[in-house]
């Protein structure tokens, strides 16, 4: 249902944020809904859909970890003979990040070819 997520009409998204802020401040459902500019039945529905607790803020995946696309780009560019600095510029990370990725994820005593799909899925599990 579109009421639960942060998608939908921008006005409803903002009303929902205001509603939950007011609820956390201790206002009853009817007053919080009224001050947020929606009907109290909508407020009750938001509470019911959220299981009675305010929904968590969505956190984007940390930029600390490389994505599958970045790992695949590293592998492809290494095979094409690009330098580690050029690879780092292409994927928007520091050169030391690329060096660590290559060092940590290259099979020992191999041809140096990375297998980014296997590495990515093993780290996400």
Chain segment 98-110, per-residue pLDDT in tens: 999 888 877 765 5
Domain boundaries defined on the chain: 1-59, 68-124
The pLDDT of residue 123:
56
How deeply is 74 buried, as exposed, middle or buried, from its count of CB atoms within 10 A (0-12, 13-18, 19+)? buried
10: burial class by Cβ within 10 Å (0-12, 13-18, 19+)?
exposed
Cα(104)–Cα(123) distance, rounded to whole angstroms?
12
Measured CA to CA, the distance from residue 109 to residue 42 in angstroms comes to 62
Better-predicted residue by pLDDT, 107 or 41: 41
Report the predicted TM-score, pTM, of the whole model to 2 decimal places.
Answer: 0.43
């Amino acid at each position: 249902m579109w009421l639960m997520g942060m998608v939908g009409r921008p006005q409803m998204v903002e009303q929902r944020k205001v509603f939950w802020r007011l609820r956390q401040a201790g206002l009853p459902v009817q007053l919080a809904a009224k001050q947020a500019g929606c009907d109290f039945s909508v407020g009750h529905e938001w509470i019911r859909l959220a299981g009675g607790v305010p929904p968590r803020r969505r956190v984007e995946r940390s930029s600390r970890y490389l994505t599958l696309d970045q790992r695949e780009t590293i592998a492809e560019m290494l095979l094409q003979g690009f330098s580690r600095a050029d690879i780092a510029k292409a994927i928007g990370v520091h050169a030391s990040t690329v060096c660590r990725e290559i060092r940590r994820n290259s099979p020992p005593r191999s041809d140096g070819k990375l297998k980014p799909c296997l590495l990515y899925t093993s780290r996400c599990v």
